[in-house]
A and B are shown apart, each in its own frame.
Chain A
């Protein structure tokens, strides 16, 4: 985060202590978002995301091996990739948020501003989430191209927004937590990527009959559960309310993430993560 956030926060909020708690996170979020999109890696990540979506869409539309898929499944494939990669880039941004500042030596400046640490955490989360919402917007034309023949576009996009936002909020807070306790930015990014891969891997297992333990794990894993919900509505054609149990773990993850930000969120932003100050 650049140094002018402190001045901006002072100008806007210094007189009103009560208002500062409510709105200072917006100042942080605005500055973090500008940093991410104007001078940061946001546009590059989004460009990479659009390239991936283009390749997938073109293959689904032209390759005979993928083209056998029913159109609903093709739309589902595009939505799942959009959600997964959109959440991945959000996680990368949040995993860099605190440990990156600490490593670049800019966290001290940020801590000196008259903004609460919780507001800093919320602002950084909001900036990271802007990547998910941008990825969602980029996915719209691809889903439209693939789903226009089966009147599935609006439903697919709403589902993508719902499931993707729940997962993005939960995993972005997880990334912030990892970032706050990691001694280096490299460690934070590695652990966060490993966590995402560990959660994502079960979605790639073949659809074999599972025992109660496998079913329980599938429902507890928010990424797996979210993908199963997309499958149930988009491919199997179930109603939105028929398989709501799949959304329990993504909702719980998002609620717990919100609780973490409200509760110990202030302790997330500190100068030394994982390394004791001497």
Chain B
């Protein structure tokens, strides 16, 4: 007769197995989000910038992975926020391409991203880049990596004045109308 494993022994064996497996499972569970939380750094090439309405400029950001493990695929997103309540900001007006993909970064690797912006409102603004996980395994996990904000001051400017345009705006149609009427009346005159 084969000796039966006592119930107490079975429990001990299961507990030992669970105890051995637990650290591995826990490590797997935290590995994906830990890449973003601990490892990813986002920086901008400047902290302040002054410009005028209508001007374009390029902001350069650096996404780096100083951590020991590779990241998943990442998504970088540019945002513009007004620092004053009177000015409404529609970020889509500021940049045609506000989302860029960053391929998986190996340990120590980094990626440069350029953002072309056009200042469309006068006022004081914060511009920042946020990096979020975009891979199948890490999508929807957080927290996110955010750059320090760029403080942007945009001065108002009137590029044209209506007074300067008025003579041309009035004179050209009037001149054409006068020429047309004169030519028509000359044709219509008998003889």
In the complex, are the beta carbons of A74 and B160 less than 8 A apart? yes
Partner of B164, one of A50, A61, A68: A61
Task: Return chain A residues, CB-CB under 8 Å to B170.
Answer: 54
In the complex, are the beta carbons of B177 and A47 less than 8 A apart? yes
A38 and B185 alpha carbons, distance in the complex (Å): 11
Task: Return chain B residues, CB-CB under 8 Å to A214.
Answer: none
Task: Return chain B residues, CB-CB under 8 Å to A58.
Answer: 162, 165-166, 169
Most buried by B among A51, A68, A149, A208: A68
Q: What class of interface size applies to chain A in its complex with B?
A: 20 to 34
**Which of the segments A140-148, A189-197, A249-257 contacts the partner chain?**
A140-148
Partner of B173, one of A38, A47, A73, A74: A47
Task: Return chain A residues, CB-CB under 8 Å to B172.
Answer: 50, 53-54, 138, 141-142
- Residue B46 interfacial (CB < 8 Å): no
Partner of A61, one of B165, B171, B179, B183: B165
**Which of the segments B28-36, B52-60, B82-90, B131-139 contacts the partner chain?**
B52-60
A61 and B171 alpha carbons, distance in the complex (Å): 16
What are the interface flags for B69-113 relative to A under an 8 Å C-beta threshold, 1 for contact and 0 otherwise?
Answer: 000000000000000000000000000110000000000000000
- Residue A215 interfacial (CB < 8 Å): no
Q: Which residue of A lies closest to B99 (CB)?
A: A209
What are the interface flags for A61-85 relative to B under an 8 Å C-beta threshold, 1 for contact and 0 otherwise?
Answer: 1100001111101100000000000
Interchain nearest-CB distance for A21 vs B (Å): 33
In the complex, are the beta carbons of B165 and A73 less than 8 A apart? no
A218 and B68 alpha carbons, distance in the complex (Å): 45
- Given known pairs A43-B183, A74-B159, the reply for A145 and B168 (CB within 8 Å) is yes
In the complex, are the beta carbons of B180 and A71 less than 8 A apart? no
A67 and B83 alpha carbons, distance in the complex (Å): 23
- Specify the main secondary structure of chain B where it touches its partner: helix
- Scan residues 144-180 of chain B and give those whose CB is less than 8 A from a CB of chain A: 158-162, 164-166, 168-173, 176-177, 179-180
- Residue B130 interfacial (CB < 8 Å): no
What are the interface flags for A206-234 relative to B under an 8 Å C-beta threshold, 1 for contact and 0 otherwise?
Answer: 01110000000000000000000000000
Number of A-B residue pairs, CB cutoff 8 Å, is: 83
- Residue B120 interfacial (CB < 8 Å): yes
Task: Return chain A residues, CB-CB under 8 Å to B96.
Answer: 207-208
Most buried by B among A38, A44, A60, A61: A61
A141 and B170 alpha carbons, distance in the complex (Å): 11
Task: Return chain A residues, CB-CB under 8 Å to B180.
Answer: 43-44, 47
Interchain nearest-CB distance for B189 vs A (Å): 13
- Scan residues 105-131 of chain B and give those whose CB is less than 8 A from a CB of chain A: 118, 120-121
- Residue B187 interfacial (CB < 8 Å): yes
Interchain nearest-CB distance for B77 vs A (Å): 14
In the complex, are the beta carbons of A57 and B168 less than 8 A apart? yes
A–B pairs, 16, beta carbons within 8 Å: A43-B176, A43-B183, A43-B184, A47-B177, A58-B165, A60-B165, A62-B160, A62-B161, A67-B160, A68-B54, A70-B54, A70-B55, A70-B159, A141-B172, A142-B168, A145-B160
> Which A residues fall within an 8 A CB radius of B?
38-39, 43-44, 46-47, 50-51, 53-54, 57-58, 60-62, 67-71, 73-74, 138, 141-142, 144-146, 149, 207-209
> Which B residues fall within an 8 A CB radius of A?
53-56, 96-97, 118, 120-121, 158-162, 164-166, 168-173, 176-177, 179-180, 183-184, 187
A-B complex: 6 closest residue pairs judged by Cβ atoms? A62-B162, A70-B54, A43-B180, A61-B165, A61-B160, A54-B169
With A54-B172, A69-B54 already in contact, 9 other A-B pairs whose C-beta atoms are closer than 8 Å: A43-B184, A50-B173, A53-B172, A57-B168, A58-B162, A60-B165, A69-B159, A142-B172, A144-B168
